[in-house]
Structure 1
Amino acid sequence: MAFDGIVVADLVHEFRKELLNGRIAKIAQPESDELLLTIKASDGQKRLLISADASLPLIYLTDSNKPAPMTAPNFCMLLRKHIGGGRIVDIRQPKLERIIHFTIEHLDEMGDLCRKELIVEIMGKHSNIIFCTEGGKIIDSIKHVSAQMSSVREVLPGREYFIPDTMHKADPLTVDKGTFKRLLIEKPAPAAKALYTSFTGISPVTAEEICFLAGLDSSVPAKEYSDDILFHLYTQFSIYLTGVKEGRFSPAIYYDGREPKEFSSLPLTHFAQYECREYTSMSEVLRTYYSVRSRLTRIRQKSADLRHIVQTALERNRKKYDLQIRQLKDTENREKYKVYGELINTYGYNVEEGAKKLEALNYYTNEMISIPLDPTQTPQENAQRYFAKYNKQKRTFEALSELSRETKDDITYLESIQTALDIALTEDDLAGIREELVNTGYIKRRFTKKKVKIKNTPLHYISSDGYHIYVGKNNLQNDELTFDFAAGNDWWFHAKQAPGSHVIVKTNGDELPDTTFEEAGRLAAYYSSMRGSEKVEIDYVEKKHVKKPKGAKPGFVVYYTNYSLVIDSDISKIREVTD
């Protein structure tokens, strides 16, 4: 994530518009490192969430409330005493630091007008919320930092507040051309790293974007570039940050399919492979991004036990399959033993007693061959020995051929479950996969009095031409979609020889346009194990030609006549229908 100084600048711009001159009506501390301020602004009530959580520091406007503890913590009580009912008269960001100063005007115990500073530092594990006097003396903080905890700065009541300058970074909004060049060439690091380690508020993602705009290889050290190229880089750097100076922000989230990959306040043109969704405010971006990421993280955590079951079964079946293939290889010479037996029966009459081999003409190939003999056995006994060896290997071959096919089908099936787990976005999706694994015997069914109803519907898209496209999220749903939902003249799509979803396009009896075929192919590529590939081969056929073999596992089908197309897996421009 790029929660850098530019995002903070966007938030300050938003807060000044929404909160300036608003009065603090309520102060709550829902968590030990989190504040929720309710502010009465000119256009209604606003809620400001501030979190100094070391793993996920955040600040944004929210519509939702959070329950507060029955007894307010000391820091919350202190804020209520000093700034409860106070008016926010200024909101600013020093340089381009990840710091926001809220200046709050209030009446003291004597009824005199005075000001205090509520300082929010969004600095990873060093994040904090610090309450200071207007002169910069710390009154208290949500996290106390002693000299034993930090040799750089103490954050304790009575200490002077200052911003630690451990990295000696320059202000990107005021840097001149000469300083810019000097800072970059002094560092042996790649150009992108030199940018974000030399200037405050510049994240690695932003540094990559500036190098991309300048047409430079971000991995090459800046000192290797000429003065003209560095001047060009400085020009792009200044132009890019003009949006911050002028308050022209474009809050957006960049999606890889349904998963948010990054967010930004200014355009990220080097993320062209992702879908860019713009939002009205940075608060909305942060709410959306972290709620979706939180949901995906939660789903991944909840799917961990299923993934373990599937992975364990896969490893076991792969080992079994490798062993079966090696054993099958040992039976490749079975026909040779049959020929040996036949030739001994044909030419054995002239074999001398105690002979160790028989030289004979192989009438199948018309070549002379040498057949090893057991000198202690008669020719007839040698022939029977070879026939017995042949029959044993033939039985082994037949049995192993069937077993290896079954094992290969099990591997293919389990790989399709892995793909379904990657697609899963809700707990209902996981419940559907669990039910499937129970039905196929990989998980023992738990008998409970309460029957759990699984609400699970396929993914639904609409093509550019207006045709409805449906995507199965697991094998049970794939079967239902293909054999219960689809009509005979609907089109069926699937990634060729790869685990993935069944994709159905409802034709309504029409002849589909090429664009719809391509978009359905992209969906089949995306919802398969080939996701992310630039070229994926897709099989497609009318549904009436798709058959399910008797006794086949869920999701397994056969078809003998089909068309094929090669397509990428970019579905960013296909409209999804959400119920």
Structure 2
Amino acid sequence: MSFDGLFTHAMVHELNDKLAGGRIMKIHQPYANEIFLIIRHNRQNFPVLLSAHPAFARAQISKIKYTNPQTAPNFAMMLRKHLEGSKLIKIEQVENDRIIRFVTSGRDELGDEEQTTLILEMMGRHSNLFLVDEATQRIIDLIKHVPADQNRVRTLMPGGTYILPPKQNVINPFESLDGLANIILDNPKTNDLAKEIQQHFQGFAHDSANELAHVLQQSGDSLAITTSWLNHFNKPEPELISTDKGVAFTPFNWVTIDGIKAPYESLSELLDAYFAEKSERDRVQQQAVIVLRTVRNELKKNKKKIQKQKNELANADHADEYRVKGELLTTYMSQIKRGMTEIELPNYYDDNRLMKITLSNQIGPSQNAQKYFTKYNKLKNSVKYLHSQIALAQQEVDYFETLLAQIDIASPKDIAEIREELTQEGYLRVQRKKKQKPKVSQPEKFYATDGTLIEVGKNNLQNERLSMKTAAKSDIWLHTKDIPGSHVIIHDNEPTEQTLFEGAMLAAYFSKARESANVPVDYLPVGRLRKPNGSKPGFVIFEGQTTMTVTPEAQLVQKLRQNN
């Protein structure tokens, strides 16, 4: 279902049970529209994600790992000033809307008691996160500043008074079901009933209204059934449902969605499973804008260069024609008069068929012949050069296609290292502040079914360190055959067939062939790898490999990841 008012109701219930009374220990802003609060409660730290993302706005306890920027954004600094060390009094929903209030109590710089509230509005592209003084309702700061000329309804800048978004004339279903019976009588069709429910009651997205409409049409006592259905949001039994159209999440058993259902202990764990891939891809795209532009431009430039050089190479195939014309002009020079623009001469290389030869009327017969010999020699000499240039450009194309594949499987923390690699190779100019060194990221760790450690590099610098420095010579190295992808190391010199299969599965999954079937994967001991002098990061050569074929399975990869 959607993260509508009903799901917000269930999530607020879960967050209150786990977090109310805890203390805000740390605050991070790893991404532009998202904040993480580390809340300690009952001797346990809970990372709470508050997202004002235009497509993935939500609040949850999230265990998805993130990397903080080296310099905290201004909004994060303001939150730290007012909220770090504060007690989280309560979490509440505004009626049944997609608005959550995190009410806190702490002390200001003078030691006086201060109550501030974090207000998360989950409104699609208008989503925002406010820090508000509870006593005066003054906006201290907000994650997205919106000038007055872009929003004339209310002030969305620091210093303004916080005002709730315009209210719709709808009923909170958790407070009243007035009018439901008449709506059911007047709308016998499911689609019509769903629309009326959505328009009459607050917090219903289309999918949840459609679900309730189906439930009501199969029941007798509408009020009792609806009350029972709404009560499920107070005691959810979360499920992730895999269907032919994709994956859906529901707070409890949903009769209108068919598919393979997987239960989860909490709504937060459910959302982690659902959003992990979606939000991760989006975060990567946000952070990789410059990197992607550079890679795509270089790829386009080198492909264009190859095509141009292949055209020149095709022209060189006609070099012998220039030689023949030069020889014919030399042989029949007595027939050529100065000032002629063309002549037809018998070609003794082609059964004396006449060949038309263009001449320059500005030069003599001998110079015309020499002109064709010069063209011939120039084209013949260019062939070797063009072949070498095409090979170099193809290496560049292979390199940048590998980078594109790495960006496609990268996590946000890997993008910084890919950017660093492009800088080292001279494709990017980055003005880095002094005393700021890029953090060295580590390959992702997986554990095979038998407990063997398997490491996967996510970019060329990781691949380089993993394969050429940290892996033992007897460890097993795997990589997709002739397909851009990650270096995979099985830290065992004699892995079982199952472990070898799982390592090959990881190599296929973390490659450009992730969506393909029967992907060939090469494997051999690390000691057989060689790195040519002057080659780019992550490039290796080898021989004596064995090849096996696997089909990537996301579920198996997730299982190996969870073994960590």
TM bucket (normalised to shorter chain) is 0.5 to 0.7
Note closer, same or farther for the CA distance 1:332–1:200 as it changes in structure 2 (3 Å cut): farther
Rate the CA distance shift 1:372–1:511 in 2: closer, same or farther, 3 A: farther
Query: Are 2:516 and 1:554 equivalent residues in the alignment?
Result: no
Count of residues in Structure 1 that have an aligned counterpart in Structure 2: 488
For 2:447 and 2:381, the matched residues in 1 are separated by 53
Contact 2:506–2:552 under 8 Å retained in 1: no
| AA aligned opposite 1:502 | H
Cα deviation for residue 249 of structure 1 reads 1.4
What is the CA–CA distance in structure 2 between the aligned matches of 1:540 and 1:52, rounded to whole Å? 42
Change (3 A) 1:419 1:357: same
1:548–1:556 contact (8 Å) kept in structure 2: yes
Residue of structure 2 in register with 1:327 after alignment: 312
Q: Does the residue aligned with 2:355 lie in a helix, a strand or coil?
A: strand
Distance change in 2, residues 1:482/1:466 (3 Å): same
Q: How does 1:79-478 map to 2 (within 5 A)?
A: 98=98, 124=123, 125=126, 164-166=167-169, 178=185, 181-182=188-189, 184-185=191-192, 200-203=202-205, 234-235=217-218, 242=229, 244-245=231-232, 247-251=234-238, 265-266=251-252, 278-280=264-266, 282=268, 301-338=286-323, 348=331, 356-360=343-347, 362=349, 369-374=353-358, 384-425=370-411, 427=413, 429-443=414-428, 450=435, 452=437, 454-478=439-463
**Matching of residue 540 in structure 1 with residue 522 in structure 2:** yes
CA positional deviation for 1:502: 1.8
Measured after TM superposition, the shift of residue 304 of structure 1 is 3.7
In structure 2, the CA distance between the partners of 1:299 and 1:387, relative to structure 1 (3 Å rule), is: same
Secondary structure of 1:494's aligned partner: strand
CA contact (8 A) 2:447 2:563 kept: no
Structure 1 residue ranges without an equivalent (≥5): 27-36, 74-83, 103-117, 132-138, 152-156, 212-229, 256-260
Q: Aligned residue for 1:227?
A: none
Q: Is the 8 A contact 1:471 1:504 kept in 2?
A: yes
Aligned to 2:503: 520
Do the aligned partners of 2:455 and 2:489 also contact (CA within 8 Å) in 1? yes
**Residue-by-residue CA offset, 1:427-448 (whole Å, 9 max, x unaligned):** 5x34533442233222458798
Q: Counterparts of 1:25 and 1:378 in 2: how far apart (Å)? A: 96
Q: 1:62 to 1:270 in 2, by over 3 A?
A: closer
Q: Take 1:425 and 1:252, find their aligned partners in 2: how far apart are those partners?
A: 26
Q: Report how far residue 524 of structure 1 moved.
A: 2.7
Deviation of 1:421 after TM superposition, in Å, equals 3.9
Q: What SS does the aligned partner of 2:422 have? A: helix
Contact 1:351 1:358 in 2 (8 A): no
Change (3 A) 1:383 1:451: same
- Cα distance in 2 for partners of 1:44, 1:511 equals 41
Q: For residue 575 of structure 1, give the secondary structure of its aligned residue in structure 2.
A: helix
Note the C-alpha offset of 1:241: 8.3
Q: Deviations over 1:336-394 (max 9, x none)?
A: 4345556777xx4699556822334547xxx7754333577999876654443222112
Counterparts of 2:16 and 2:291 in 1: how far apart (Å)? 48
Q: CA contact under 8 A between 2:232 and 2:252: conserved in structure 1? A: no
| Deviation, structure 1 residue 50 | 12
- Amino acid in structure 2 at the alignment position of 1:404: I
Equivalent position of 1:214 in the other structure:
none
SS of residue paired to 2:2: coil
Identity among equivalent positions (%) equals 25
Name the CA distance, whole Å, in 1 between partners of 2:77 and 2:431.
36
For structure 2, list consecutive stretches of 5 or more residues without a partner in the other structure: 25-36, 64-75, 103-116, 140-150, 155-160
**Could you tell me which of 508, 519, 522 is aligned with 2:493?**
508
RMSD, matched Cα: 6.4
Query: What letter matches 1:537 in structure 2?
Result: V
**Using the alignment, how far apart are the partners of 2:128 and 2:430 within structure 1?**
47
Rate the CA distance shift 1:182–1:318 in 2: closer, same or farther, 3 A.
same
Q: TM-score when scaled to structure 1?
A: 0.59
SS in 2 for 1:520: helix
* Paired residues of 1:252 and 1:278 also in contact (CA < 8 A): yes
Q: Residues 507-544 of structure 1, C-alpha deviation per residue, up to 9 Å, x if partnerless?
A: 4224523x742x4344334333444x243733313246
Q: Distance in 1 between matches of 2:47 and 2:430?
A: 47
